[in-house]
Amino acid sequence: MARLPPDFRFGAATSAFQIEGAPAEDGRTASIWDTFCRVPGAVANGDTGDLACDHYHRMPEDVALLAGLGLDSYRFSVSWPRVQPGGRGPANPAGLDFYDRLVDELLARGVTPWLTLYHWDLPQELQDAGGWPARDTAFRFADYAELVHERLGDRVEHWTTLNEPFCSAVLGHVEGVHAPGGRSLGEGVRAVHHLHLGHGLAVRRLRAAARRPLDLAVTHLLGTGDPATAHPADVAAARRADAFGFRFYLDPILRGGYPADLNGDLAARGIEIPVREGDLETIATPIDTLGVNYYRSMRFSGTDEQGATSDADGLPVTRALPHGGLPLTGLGWEVMPHDLTALLLRVSRDYPGVPMVVTENGAAYEDRPDAHGFVEDTDRTAYLSAHLAAVARAHAGGADVRGYFAWSLLDNFEWAYGYDQRFGLVRVDYATQRRTPKRSGLWLGETARRSRARRTAG
Ligand code: FCB
């Protein structure tokens, strides 16, 4: 494997709603995911986040596990309705206490906290007031960011505003498969812009309030998107998918504007991004790090199953296709480590000057624990190893990539898939809440240790 830099960061990631449980404790109010879990058919098996990994009560044990594996960094998210119930007004000190203790626990064990402010759990009251399609939510987010920073800014250096705005906006408002379950392209586009605006406002507020140099970031879900064939209809479809799924997110933040071709594609559907004067400057406020989440890549075709290039409304077809002939994870996602190299190289070429960290990468597989609860997950271990090698190749090729967080520390609530899909480095037996590190967790920790040993050896 190509060498990673000596100070390369090795961590694992989680998010609040997926692990914490304790939905009504110490003043927490409902988030849109608490509500969505109650919609019949929305989540597999009718699963909810009510208990999840019971992390709210087992946090010290979980931090000890992560540190014991040998990882040096922990990416977690803060639950907005826990620290600012209802999404407005003063902070809830009891909610902040939990993250205060978490940060202290991490630091005491030599683990660097990598904090995400928003990983999809919008307070339900803000949804009732319009949610992300409403402009006001961006301002509410900046207030919330400042409240969290007031309490933790003395000890936390690494701050990520948003996790995967694409999923919040498109899965949540266009495809209807995530909370809040909307199905409107126009609402999704408004949500993207207001997420971006919230990000920019929060970056400005944190920068102004900072008591120490902060590393400010945003995390995007990215992949490559080649045309299915060299046919012009497929090339055009890949261009549209790239505009809507990739440049929609990176261009405003790193280049100061929305792509012209995207504006054209949306205009053809009668949709305009609701940009007001000054928004683009706010959104493009410089950040220090770009978080990249990578799971898989698709190909794009400009024809439907019947071979037509336009739909019933006369609009061009854009159809995502698998590559075929590749190994699949338990979720049926194709395993394509080479595309992670290509992706990181593309970002460093097209958006130069911003260091990257892979903030999520991992795989669900059907784990088979032995009698002691141990999982010999050679599949997941191979997945992580191949993707880490892909990161090293990108680094060797000139991409400034500084760390890698596996998704996820624990098996947890995998959104609409409920508890069926397990991504953890550590197995969670949900009946007993017993945690058992898997082979993949031991392997990643050992890899991190060896990398650090090289650093000390000079
Ligand atoms: C990402 C999410 C994360 C997890 C992984 C599998 O899109 O950020 O919470 O669900 O996918």
3-state secondary structure of 410: strand
Report CA(421)–ligand 1 centroid distance (Å).
Answer: 11
Hey, which residues are catalytic here? 164, 360
Tell me, what's the pLDDT at 458? 58
Tell me, what's the pLDDT at 3? 79
Tell me, what's the pLDDT at 409? 99
Tell me, what's the pLDDT at 1? 63
Pick the residue whose CA is nearest to atom 4 on ligand 1.
414
Mutate to test the pocket of ligand 1, among 121, 167, 411, 420 (most ligand atoms within 8 A of CB): 167
Distance CA 134, CA 129 (A): 8
Residue 458 neighbours by CB under 8 Å, 6+ apart: none
Name the token pair of 376: 């010999």
Tell me, what's the pLDDT at 5? 87
pLDDT digits (tens, 9 = 90+) for 312-368: 999 999 999 999 999 999 999 999 999 999 999 999 999 999 999 999 999 999 999
3-state secondary structure of 401: strand
Q: Which fold has domain 9-457?
A: TIM Barrel (3.20.20)
Atom of ligand 1 nearest to the CA of 18: 9
Atom of ligand 1 nearest to the CA of 423: 6
Q: Residues of the chain whose pLDDT is less than 50?
A: none
Judge if the beta carbon of residue 221 lies within 6 A of ligand 1.
yes
Report CA(328)–ligand 1 centroid distance (Å).
Answer: 17
Judge if the beta carbon of residue 414 lies within 6 A of ligand 1.
yes
Domain boundaries, the chain: 9-457
Distance CA 302, CA 226 (A): 12
Tell me, what's the pLDDT at 456? 75
Pick the residue whose CA is nearest to atom 9 on ligand 1.
15
Tell me, what's the pLDDT at 280? 99
448 phi and psi angles, rounded to 5 deg = -65, -45
Distance CA 109, CA 103 (A): 10
pTM: 0.98
Contact 292, 298 (CB under 8 A): no
Atom of ligand 1 nearest to the CA of 219: 8
Tell me, what's the pLDDT at 73? 98
